[in-house]
Amino acid sequence: MDFSEWPKIELHLHLDCSLGFAVVNEFEPGITTADFQHRFTAPLKCQNLSDFLSRVEDSIQLLQTERALTAATLDLLAQLQSDNVIYAEIRFAPLLHTQQGLAAAEVVEIVSDALEKGINQTGVQAGLILCTLRNYSAGQSMETVQLVHRFRHRRVVGFDIAGDELAENPQIHEAAYAFARQHGIPCTAHAGEARGPESIWETLRYFQPQRIGHGVRCVEDPALVDYLVKNRIHLEVCPTSNVQTNVFATLADHTIDKLYRAGISLGINTDGRTMENVTLSEEYRRLHDCFGWGPGHFLRCNLDAVDAAFASEETKAGLREALFA
């Protein structure tokens, strides 16, 4: 079964984990394919999430200038077009890209301008999610969510918290999420990846997001599964990434099929197209080969993702029509 021509929705996609070879070669001329894979693609199996996250540093170091941020954004839109992704939400932490003098607001403006250009060039519809990190201070989280509020007219659609779940107390970031609710900013949050159901419960309690990034360990607590179903909390599932970060030993051990059968709202995502070395079409193929998923499974996941997208109702109506075309 060829999934490359299927229209797809992707809601969990990190800009700094999706640098194409051509982009890196533009800034490091002569880089070999082997060196690119060693530095910008994570191993098929990392020790854990912390080990995986430690490998993003070269990508972050490259994305410190207007030229690099623009090139990476445009290249990612081209990747999405070639994968027949019709709508994507691309996330990044703007405070990570200020090491060479750019202000955080400048970073957001650069990426949003590049996204607008990429949308016009490719026809892929997209929005931006700004991330704080779990090891950030309360002030840094507040600065990030205020950037979301400031740039909502510039393709910025939501707020997220990423990073190592084992770092810091979630209460540190509670005020930033309260600010988001007060200003009607849609929110998601990474949880239930490095830690189990207790991480998801904490995240729901302190942050009250509409979506959870990953959340795949919720099946360890039936009461949590019931809560997610009842409250229509969408899970942004990234199967290959979850195996790579050693949440699961193999794809066959992944909980996605159980989550689907439990009636949880979920979508399929790559997390990062370079770090995970995967396209969304390949994610579909792997789920088809491993769990026997077919058109009905993928259509439901894409419709769930549309429902959960941080997009206008007009945009969602168009996406639903495209999925049934």
CB 64 within 8 A of CB 100: yes
Provide the pLDDT confidence category of residue 51 given band limits of 50, 70 and 90: confident
User: Is the model's pLDDT at 173 over the cut of 80?
Assistant: yes
Residue 289, judged by CB atoms within 10 A of its CB (0-12, 13-18, 19+), counts as: exposed
User: Is the model's pLDDT at 43 over the cut of 90?
Assistant: no
CA distance readout (Å), 168 to 153, 199, 245 = 32, 12, 20
Q: How many residues does the chain have?
A: 325
Q: Would you kindly state where each structural domain of the chain is located, as residue ranges? A: 8-309
The predicted model gives 158-173 an average pLDDT of 88
Q: For residue 180, what pLDDT is reported?
A: 98
Provide the pLDDT confidence category of residue 164 given band limits of 50, 70 and 90: confident
Q: What is the number of H-type helices and E-type strands within the chain?
A: 15, 8
The predicted model gives 185-213 an average pLDDT of 96
Who wins on pLDDT, 165 or 14? 14
Q: For residue 44, what pLDDT is reported?
A: 86
User: Is the model's pLDDT at 167 over the cut of 80?
Assistant: no
Please report, rounded to a whole number, the percentage of residues in the chain having pLDDT higher than 70: 99
If you average pLDDT over every residue of the chain, what do you get? 96
CB 221 within 8 A of CB 197: yes
- The Cα–Cα gap between 147 and 70 comes to 19
User: Is the model's pLDDT at 314 over the cut of 80?
Assistant: yes
Given 10, 89, 143, 193, the catalytic residue = 193
| E strand residue ranges, the chain | 8-14, 85-92, 125-133, 156-162, 188-191, 211-214, 234-237, 266-268
193 counts as catalytic: yes
Instruction: Please determine, looking at this structure, whether the domain spanning 8-309 carries the CATH number 3.20.20.140.
Output: yes
Q: Return the C-alpha torsion angle 136, 138, 139, 143, nearest 10.
A: 80
CB 169 within 8 A of CB 137: no
- pLDDT per residue over 266-308, tens digit each? 999 999 999 999 999 999 999 999 999 999 999 999 999 999 9
Please report, rounded to a whole number, the percentage of residues in the chain having pLDDT higher than 90: 91
- pLDDT per residue over 108-145, tens digit each? 999 999 999 999 999 999 999 999 999 999 999 999 99
Q: Phi/psi at 216 (nearest 5 deg)?
A: -75, -15
User: Is the model's pLDDT at 207 over the cut of 80?
Assistant: yes
